[in-house]
Each structure stands twice: as structure tokens, then as C-alpha cells.
Structure 1
Amino acid sequence: MAGILAWFWNERFWLPHNVTWADLKNTEEAAFPQAEELYLAFPLAFCIFMIRLVFERFIAKPCALALKVQANGPQKAQPNAILEKVFTAITKHPDEKRLEGLSKQLDWDVRSIQRWFRQRRNQEKPSTLTKFCESMWKFTFYLYIFTYGVRFLKKVPWLWNTRQCWAGYPYQPLTPDTHYYYIVELSFYWSLMFSQFIDIKRKDFSIMFTHHIVTIMLINISYINNWIRAGTMTLCLHDLADVVLEAAKMANYCKYQKLSDFLFITFAVVFIVSRLFVYPFWVLNTTLFEMYEALGNFPAMWILNIMLLILQILHCLWSYLILKAAYKVIAKGKAGKWNPLHVVKDERSDVESSSDEEDSVPRSKTPQSLTATNGTGGTNGTNGYLTSGTCSEEH
């Protein structure tokens, strides 16, 4: 094990020429980041998650109810044993062949069966109240940590002169403010890594999962190698847009239309400016070029920059979705009457919408159709429709 650790922490891979791990050991005069300190993030992540549960129940939920946020979930599908068996045992997205078979068996038209499956899928989605509580928690944390980061960064010399990120390296002492900022951010992202599997599932789940992994790796690597000056700028810059986004979501859930519109437009501007302009010209510039000039060439530097570039690719993807959402609304001529967060749901929705908000009672082909609707008498004839089939998206 000692040999494996020695191979993994090879100084010539992780550190610049003429720098060793001994240079980053604590001394009586100064403290430097230590790898073992990162273990603090795990118990703290658990504490943050428990704080979240308490916050959502005793603070966010009362606030939501006071703001008259809808507590009920999506409309429930009409009970039907045959469709329920298909839904739970085979597919949640039946293809055209299966829909036609079910239509003949139940004597429902295909549109009614599609609506039933849509309602049944939405039935498993969280209520608006749940979504509001999640957004309020994230808004509160992002606002707190962003405010802390701004107060901390405005005192440091490397904010406006990024070359200071590498001046005097590796002898850049770790201050208590930086240590607290880093560990809390890392703990929060660890809590998101685990809670995302029980949180509201959205269409960009894989993108968010990638984002969290890359962020956690960046925080760990930059802390261990004492690249925390550039790291603090990156963290603070990313928190800014998240504050506005969660605020826009809350306004949307409260049905404050004008405020929601304003916050979404603000979020779009902040996101694009911070992620597509400030980030590459401020953060990437110093890690790609100024770091190379100051410290020379070594493998870990390219690992750092590859992950930072992956983040930039994710920024471009999200920016495309944001601009696409805004364009859809403008193209439809609904300027001034639109809900941009609803449009964003086309790409990042957690509840499927239906253009036909008809009544939940299905339209039947014959008056006898209700015989097979709630009973099990037709179950024996379902074998032909309970075989495997392809799963197709409706939207």
C-alpha cells in the first residue's frame, strides 16, 4: 500500500519542478493545505444534509404555505389494473404498437391511453411545494456562500491581478477564511452528489452528475496542490448565477409572474456573462497561460485545465439551452406574457405537460369499455401487450 501511495503521489506528476511535498508541510510560521483535512468534508456533508431536512420542513415549508404554493402534486391517473401492470412491469413509455394493442383491449382511443401514461408518470413527480422547498434551500446556501466568498475575495490581491495566484508558489499560507470556504463548498457538493439520487429528477441529470464529479475533483486537487487562489475565484464565480436561478424558480412556484420573468432574464444575462466571458478570460486565462509562465510545464497542470475546460463545455451546453428557451418564446410572439421557466422545462422538465388538459375520464369506443377499465376480467388477455417493446419519448 505504501508503494502504491508513493507511486500515486509522485511529485513530478503533481508538482512543478523543484517543488516537493515537503514544501507544503505545515511549519511554525505558516499553515498549508493538507490532504487529510479533506476528510472533514464527509461528516460535514452529512451535517449539511441534515440541516437541509430541518430547513425544508420547518422553514421552507411554512414559507411556501404562507405564499400559497400549491401543496398538491400532479393530477392522478384513473386506476386501471391493465395499464398499471404495463406501466410497472414493462414500460412507462409505450410505443405505437403497444398503444394500439391496449386500445383494442380496453376499447379506449389511443389519445386517452397516452394521456393516462402521461398522468401516471407525472404522478410519481414531486409537488410544487416539494420543488419550492428544494429551491429555497439551495437559494439560501448559495446566497450565504456567495456573500461569504465576495467578502473574502475583495480583500485579497489576486482577484484583480490574477498573476498573484502563482506569485510565491508554493509558499502561499492557508488562511482560516480560505480553509473554511473550501471545506464548506466541498461538503455542499458532496451532499449534492448523494442527494441528487433522491432529489427531483430532471432531463439534465447526467450533465449535473458530471458537473458535480468534476467540481469535487477540482476542489480536491486544487486544495492538495495549494492552487486555492484560483480555486476561490472559480467557486465564487459559479455561485453567482445559481443564486439568481433558484430565486427565479421560487418566484415561478409562487406564481409571481413578473418577478419570475425578471429573475429569469437576469439569470440568463448573469450566467452567460459569468460563464462564457468572465470564466474563460479570468480563470482559464490564469490557469492555462499565467500558471504555465510562473510554474512551468508538469502533468497535473494539464489535468487541472482539462477539468476546467470540461466545465466550460458544460457552460456552453447550458447557455445553448437557455438561449433556445428564450428564442422559442420570442419566436412565438409571446413577449411580455411568457413564463420562461416553463419554456426551460422543454429541456429540463421534471413534470411532463400536456397541451390537452381534458378530463381524466378516457374516451371509449363503445359504451361497454368501462367493464375492463377498473376490473381484472381482461387481465388474462394482456399477454400479447405485456411483451417487451421499445420505449419511445412522446415529446
Structure 2
Amino acid sequence: MEAFFNEWLWKEEYWLPPGISWQDTEMKEEEGRFPRPRDLLFSLPLAVAFIALRYVFERCFADPLRKLFGVEERVRIRVVPIPKLETFYTQNTRLPSQSDVLSLGKQSGLSQRKIQTWFRHRRNQDRPSRTKKFWEATWRFVFYLASFTGGLASLINTSWFWDPSECWRDYPKQPVADAHYWYYMLEMSFYLSLLLCVSVDVKRKDFKEQVIHHIATIFLIGFSYCANFVRMGTLVMLLHDSSDIILESGKMFHYAGWSWLCDPMLIVFALVFMLTRLVVFPCRVIHTTLVLSLDFFQPFFGYYFFNALLLVLQALHVFWAYLILRMIWKFAFMGKVERDERSDEESEADDDEEEEQEEESSWDQRKGTMNSKLASLADNCVLNNLTNQRSISRLPKAR
């Protein structure tokens, strides 16, 4: 297996500039640490430790904070157990089609409306609680805040923090400081823990995109570490953590019902996102890796691959920026944001609950209209009967 990796995966032309071999990257202990792929194995037990720490954090810190913020649960209707409907719900789909409703109606003897109402309440019953959402947002907020603070403290005195072209000086023989090594390990372990917990976390509409995002992030961190793009990688992680802090804190305020604070947080998040992802990232990061790096080495496979990944990431930034600007547009001209345009859309059950309220209100309106029509019809019938009786009683006199 080791011979296979050395022959096919760890070829020098894949990972190193032309004219440089693996022997040239070897360092003595006093010179510092050179990143090795086996270092990434430490992130696996660290990810498990993150999961255990999160469990303790949510119950010992996030829950008291939830009570302090006044996050309350909504009252939900518990459905009456119906075996046939429950079997269809768990084994087939949570959103039955019209033909499925007709078929279930024949099997259970229930009306279509009762079946649709049962499925709607059943979905809302499985909807994640506000407590769970608040716990998750608090955990991520604390991590991003600690990661950004620690990353900034470890980078602010480095030469490449102020001059990104220094990321490539003496490349690839660049020692990795212990602080930057732990910065990498903690970031990778955190996203590994998110990937392992994705099935039990709050399931949103962009569930598949979340899984792809976590895998891509882990892949990017791992690749940049193995290729010793650590200096540039630390800058990329720092830029992304800066806006994620504001995003997660905004979620916390949203779940607490602090609407007066959510709107300013939206503006601040949009400004930070635009500045870091659409200005600093392309002008300082991509320009440095794509153009300035050629002053220090000749292009090789790792150069093309790493820049391709960064360009894909920038394309995603442009897409998210479009959605955020659309949110700002709604906020400016409608006075509020009706729906989160970014990836934090809640599960389908949230929409079901709103649809249910709308349907119930429209049903009440229709029922009120129907009752008024029936009442007027009944009055007309009574008036007609009285008129007929009076005409009949007057016939003998007329005769």
C-alpha cells in the first residue's frame, strides 16, 4: 500500500514545483515542522472529542443561555396514531401526492382533508425544536469566534498576513508553526464533526448542499496542508470565519425572537461578507496564488488544482452574494425579510406550519362565508314559507 501511494499519489510532479524533490523538503527538528499527510490522522480522534464537547456544551452552557434569551417552544399538535398512515409516512414519503391520498383514503376510510391534515401535523411533530436550533447556532458561534480570535492572534505578527506574496517565499520548504498546525487540525476536526453529526443536526432544505460543502471543506483543508499551502490556507480560513461569526449570532437572535436586533445584524453580515468574500478574497488571495506565486516557482499540478478550487469557491461567493443582496433589497423596500435567502432555510415542516395556518385561516373564511350564505338562504326559506302561508290564509277571504 505504501509503495502504491508513493508511486501514484505522492509523485513529486503532483505536489512539488519542477526541480524540487521530497528530499529537499526535509527539515531538522530545530528548523521547524514540515507538514506531512500522516499528521491529518490526528483530526479523527479530535473530531470525536469535538462531538463529546459539543454534547456537554449544549446542555451546560447553551441551554442556560437559551433560557436567558427567552427562547420558547411552540405548542404542537400530537397526531392520533393511525397505523396505515404511519407506515406510509415512515416507509414511503412525508409528502404524499394526490393519488397517494386517494389510495390511503380507500384503505383507512378517512377523508382526503383528514389525511392531509394528519400528514401536516405529523411533519410538524418531527420538526426540530427551537431549543435544538439555538443550541446548534450557539455551538457554531462559539467555535467560529474562538477560531477567528486564535487565528488572528497567530497570524497578525506574520509577514504574509500583511503581504500575501510572502506566502510563497522559500516555497515549498516552509516550516509550519505549532499555532498554525493546531489551527489547521482544529478547523479540519470541527468540519469532520459536523459531517459525522449531519444526520442528527437540524435538517434544512439544503441538506445535500451542506454535506457537499463539508466534504469540500475537509478536502480543501487536507489538500492545502499536504501541499504545504498552509500560509495561504490560514488566510482563507480566517476570512471565512469572520462572516460566519455574525451569521450564527444572527440565528441566535432570530430564534430568541429579537427582531429589533436581527435587522442590524443582517446589514452587518452583508457588509462583512461582501468585503471579505468579494474584495479581499479575489484581490488578495486569488491574485496572489494565481499571479504573484509565479515569481517564486514554475507552475505545476498542485498550482493548477489549488487555483481551480479557489476559483470555484469564488463562484460560490458570487452566488451567495446575489442571494444576500436580494435579501437586502427585500429589507429596504418591503421593510422585512420574508425568507432567509442563504443556506439557513429551515426544514420543509416550517413551511408546512405556515401553510397550515394559511389554510386554516382561509378555511375559516370560507366556512364563515358558507355559514352566512346558509343563514341567508335559511332566512329566505323562512320568509318564503311565511309568505306562502299568508297567501294561503288570505285565499278564503278573497273567495
Assess same fold via TM > 0.5: yes
- Which structure 1 segments of 5+ residues have no match? 364-395
Structure 2 distance, partners of 1:167, 1:94, is: 61
**Correspondence for 1:210:** 212
Residue 249 (structure 1) shift: 0.5
Q: Is 2:203 the partner of 1:188?
A: no
Secondary structure, counterpart of 1:348 in structure 2 = coil
Look up the equivalent residue of 2:96 and give its one-letter code.
Answer: P
**Correspondence for 1:22:** 23
Q: Is 2:353 the partner of 1:352?
A: no
Q: 1:178 aligns with which of 177, 180, 197?
A: 180
Identity %: 37
**Correspondence for 2:63:** 61
**Correspondence for 1:366:** none
Structure 2 distance, partners of 1:296, 1:172, is: 17
Secondary structure, counterpart of 2:254 in structure 1 = helix
Secondary structure, counterpart of 1:159 in structure 2 = helix
- Which structure 2 segments of 5+ residues have no match? 365-399
Q: 2:144 aligns with which of 142, 163, 177?
A: 142
Residue 272 (structure 1) shift: 2.6
Relative to structure 1, the CA distance from residue 69 to residue 304 in structure 2 (aligned partners, 3 Å threshold; closer, same or farther) is same
1:154-213: CA deviation from partner (whole Å, max 9, x where unpaired): 111112211111012123221121112111111111111211122111112222222222
Structure 1 distance, partners of 2:105, 2:315, is: 45
**Correspondence for 2:382:** none
Structure 1 distance, partners of 2:103, 2:59, is: 45
**Correspondence for 1:12:** 13
Structure 2 distance, partners of 1:328, 1:346, is: 17
| Greater fraction helix | 2
Secondary structure, counterpart of 2:170 in structure 1 = coil
Structure 2 distance, partners of 1:77, 1:339, is: 32
With the length of structure 1 as denominator, give the TM-score of the two structures: 0.82
Structure whose alpha-carbon radius of gyration is higher: 2
**Correspondence for 2:276:** 274
**Correspondence for 1:3:** 3
Q: Is 2:111 the partner of 1:108?
A: yes
Secondary structure, counterpart of 2:159 in structure 1 = coil
Residue 216 (structure 1) shift: 1.3
Residue 54 (structure 1) shift: 0.3
With the length of structure 2 as denominator, give the TM-score of the two structures: 0.82
CA contact (8 A) 1:41 1:187 kept: yes
CA contact (8 A) 2:58 2:139 kept: yes
Structure 2 distance, partners of 1:134, 1:323, is: 26
1:235-263: CA deviation from partner (whole Å, max 9, x where unpaired): 00011111001100000111111111211
Residue 91 (structure 1) shift: 2.0
CA contact (8 A) 1:33 1:224 kept: yes
Residue 294 (structure 1) shift: 2.0
Secondary structure, counterpart of 1:136 in structure 2 = helix
Structure 2 distance, partners of 1:259, 1:84, is: 41
Q: Is 2:51 the partner of 1:49?
A: yes
Relative to structure 1, the CA distance from residue 346 to residue 227 in structure 2 (aligned partners, 3 Å threshold; closer, same or farther) is closer
CA contact (8 A) 1:329 1:343 kept: no
Aligned length, in residue pairs: 356
